[in-house]
Amino acid sequence: MASDHTRSAILAAAERLYADRGFGDVTLRDIVAEANVNLAAVNYHFGSKDELIAELFVTRSIATNRERLRELKAAEEQGGGRAPIEVILRALVGPTLRGCLGPENQRSTAARFMIRASIESVPPIRRIKNREIDHLRKFAGAMRRSLPDRSDIDIHWGLNFALAMAHHTIRESERLTKLSEGKCDLDDVEDVVARVVSVATMALTSGKAEAKAPSRLAAR
């Protein structure tokens, strides 16, 4: 692999095109034209179109997952094995939201690519997402340690709702902006994170086991 020039040109061109026009109508010929390389180069370097897409997605998502786990681990170590639920939730949804929203990220190729991946759900990407369960289990475990009085059911529903709010906000960010006539500011990512964490925390702490220590809500 002398220079990797062709290979990385393909990756960059593919990510750009997919980000702009979606997976549906970008062909290998579009990609190689954009990258100024030969058509056969894609199959030579990646084996198939699907493997190219998979590599693009894996690259971006392991970065996010690593950041998630880093934040989670740091929080649990600092709390002696038990992190506050808000911090856990922030570690869960923060990296994803920061990676896709925000004034600069909105225009970054990587961010737009990940939004597309979240919207269109093409087979190679779905396969990778299915392997994400082990990753999520770590968060379920941390949440259980943080809220030992809550049932497993509640924990999983809270996890589900937290991911729901984060992913849906990313995926439908355009519609939310239009619906609210620009009032909901998606460029202020930390505000979005705080809102999601706040609601998810309420979901997890309200009701049954609330008596002992009504956890402080995440900052507005």
Partner DNA sequence: TTGCATTTAAAACACTTGTATGAAACTATC
Partner DNA sequence: GATAGTTTCATACAAGTGTTTTAAATGCAA
Contacts with DNA in 44-103 (CB under 7 A)? 44-45, 48-50
For 167, list phi and psi in degrees, rounded to 5.
-70, -40
On whether the CB atoms of residues 142 and 80 are closer than 8 A, the answer is: no
Is the CB of 121 or the CB of 180 nearer to DNA?
A: 121
Nearest to 13 by CA among 36, 38, 43: 36
- Contact segment (CB under 8 A) with its own copies among 28-36, 66-74, 101-109, 153-161 equals 153-161
Q: Does residue 37 bind DNA (CB under 7 A)?
A: yes
Nearest to 94 by CA among 197, 170, 168: 197
CA torsion angle for 195, 201, 202, 205 (degrees, to 10)? Answer: -170
How far is 85 from 144, CA to CA, in rounded Å? Answer: 9
Is the CB of 41 or the CB of 202 nearer to DNA?
A: 41
Tokens of 116: 């597309």
Among 9, 69, 110, 202, binds its own copies (CB under 8 A): 202
Q: Does residue 8 bind DNA (CB under 7 A)?
A: no
Q: Which of the listed partners (its own copies, DNA, none) does 160 bind, with a CB threshold of 5 to 8 Å by partner kind? A: its own copies
Tokens 């093409």 — which residue?
122
Is the CB of 32 or the CB of 163 nearer to its own copies?
A: 163
201: Cβ–Cβ under 8 A, 6 or more apart, which residues?
85, 86, 89, 215, 217, 218
Q: Does residue 74 bind its own copies (CB under 8 A)?
A: no
Is the CB of 70 or the CB of 175 nearer to its own copies?
A: 175
On whether the CB atoms of residues 94 and 193 are closer than 8 A, the answer is: yes
- Contact segment (CB under 8 A) with its own copies among 13-21, 55-63, 88-96, 164-172 equals 164-172
Among 20, 43, 174, 206, binds DNA (CB under 7 A): 43
Question: Per-residue string for binding with its own copies, 86-125, x by CB under 8 A?
Answer: ---------------------------------xxxxx--
List contacts with DNA (CB under 7 A).
1-3, 5-7, 25, 27-29, 37-45, 48-50
